[in-house]
A and B are shown apart, each in its own frame.
Chain A
Amino acid sequence: MTDELLTQERARALIMAYGADPDRWPLEHREPLSLALANDPALRACAADESKLDQLMTSEPIPLPITVDSILDFTDRTVALTDIKQTPLDLSVEPSRALLERLIDWLCFSGAHTARRGFAVAGLSLAVGIGLGLGIAVPSEDEWVASEQYVFALVEEVQADG
């Protein structure tokens, strides 16, 4: 889409949003904006003002202390610890149920039979009940918030994908 009828106000707004460097302008605006800039001294003054910020913003490179190996190690460790399978989510199953199924599978050392799964479910319910009742092993508020955010983010993603 070209923006043939670029008003001075719109051209100014674009320069103030994207800066003075044409390489940073949206493709559809580059040609009309370059034309407007060439013919309008007020726009050129605006661009000169914005270029000062452009220069400053590129003056501080961000260091990269994070290594590829550390990312791979984290993935390996997390997958090994949780035994989450690398498979697409089955959207025919409710997300909360899918998570519970995975947890039960994990408790059953993956691939246990139905009877053992039954014991695992009962045992899990009992353990949660006793844990909450006695107030032991209850995570701190920060841990709860972190785990809530993680679960909410997963659920939001599943809903968004659905």
Chain B
Amino acid sequence: MQRVAKGDRGAYAALVADHLRPISAYAQRMTGSVANAEDIAQEVFLRLWLKAGEFDATRARLTTWLHQMAHNLAIDLHRKKQREVSLEVMDIPDAAVPSTPEEPVGPVAQALLQLPERQRSALALTYYQDLSNREVADIMGLSTRAVESLLVRARNAMKIQLEIAQ
């Protein structure tokens, strides 16, 4: 990271190669869109290039820092979509605004996209991104117990969506 902060493009390319897959996969699971995932990944790695000097390895792993940025961008995008839905839907407290995938996806990805934003984040970060429960809690700004509660609700909703007998 110090080399990246000093403008070493080769070091930057190596970090992009190491982290592109998990970051873009997370963005894709959150948005259901390859195009949106690409936008998010581009923005995350642009910020990595510009702000490498601000990264503090004593506070977080690099992957956690990058996931934090991807998470914030995905949430911003989700909230932009929320503003576009009718007032009727927005009046429901804590309403889940189901995302519609822009490309054909399998039943699991489809079920994931039907989850409310925070449940989707908790499940995607915990299950697919190889992050610890504390790292997920840090990224989401929640306690680990709150993340666990989201995970239980998310998994139950997934079982219903996927018609797994409970």
With CB as the reference atom, state the residue of chain B lying closest to A10: B148
Does B162 contact A68, Cβ atoms closer than 8 Å? no
Chain B contacts of A78 at CB under 8 A?
A: 46
Smallest CB separation, A3 vs chain B (Å): 12
Name the interface residues of B1-39: CB closer than 8 Å to any CB of A.
5, 7, 9, 12-13, 16-17, 20-21, 24-25, 28-29, 34, 37-38
With CB as the reference atom, state the residue of chain A lying closest to B27: A66
Name the interface residues of B36-62: CB closer than 8 Å to any CB of A.
37-38, 41-42, 45-47, 49-54
Number of interface residues of A (CB under 8 A): 43
Q: Mark A42-80, 1 if CB is under 8 A from B, else 0.
A: 000000011011001101101111101011101100110
Does A72 contact B151, Cβ atoms closer than 8 Å? no
Interface size of B as a range: 35 or more
Tell me, yes or no, whether A132 is within 8 Å of chain B by CB: no
Give the CA-CA distance A59 to B111 in the complex, in Å.
Answer: 13
Tell me, yes or no, whether B158 is within 8 Å of chain A by CB: yes
Give the CA-CA distance A64 to B29 in the complex, in Å.
Answer: 12
Does A74 contact B72, Cβ atoms closer than 8 Å? no
Give the CA-CA distance A22 to B20 in the complex, in Å.
Answer: 27
Tell me, yes or no, whether A16 is within 8 Å of chain B by CB: yes
Tell me, yes or no, whether B132 is within 8 Å of chain A by CB: yes
Interface on chain A toward B: helix, strand, loop, or mixed SS? Answer: helix
Tell me, yes or no, whether A153 is within 8 Å of chain B by CB: yes
Chain A contacts of B34 at CB under 8 A?
A: 63, 65-66
Does B49 contact A70, Cβ atoms closer than 8 Å? no
Does A64 contact B126, Cβ atoms closer than 8 Å? no
Q: Mark B66-87, 1 if CB is under 8 A from A, else 0.
A: 0000001100100010010000
Tell me, yes or no, whether B95 is within 8 Å of chain A by CB: no
Chain B contacts of A157 at CB under 8 A?
A: 47, 51, 72
Chain B contacts of A145 at CB under 8 A?
A: 80, 83
Tell me, yes or no, whether B164 is within 8 Å of chain A by CB: yes
With CB as the reference atom, state the residue of chain B lying closest to A16: B152
Chain A contacts of B20 at CB under 8 A?
A: 64, 66, 68, 71
> Which one of B16, B76, B106 contacts A60 once the chains associate, using CB atoms below 8 Å?
B106
Give the CA-CA distance A54 to B63 in the complex, in Å.
Answer: 24
Give the CA-CA distance A153 to B70 in the complex, in Å.
Answer: 11
Chain A contacts of B51 at CB under 8 A?
A: 88-89, 157
Does A17 contact B50, Cβ atoms closer than 8 Å? no
Tell me, yes or no, whether A27 is within 8 Å of chain B by CB: yes
Chain B contacts of A88 at CB under 8 A?
A: 5, 51, 53-54
Does A70 contact B38, Cβ atoms closer than 8 Å? yes
Chain A contacts of B46 at CB under 8 A?
A: 74-75, 78-79
A-B contacts, 12 of them at CB < 8 A, read A17-B152, A50-B155, A62-B29, A65-B38, A71-B45, A74-B42, A74-B45, A75-B42, A84-B50, A86-B49, A86-B53, A87-B53
Q: Which 7 A-B pairs have the closest CB atoms?
A: A17-B151, A88-B53, A17-B148, A60-B106, A74-B42, A62-B25, A26-B133
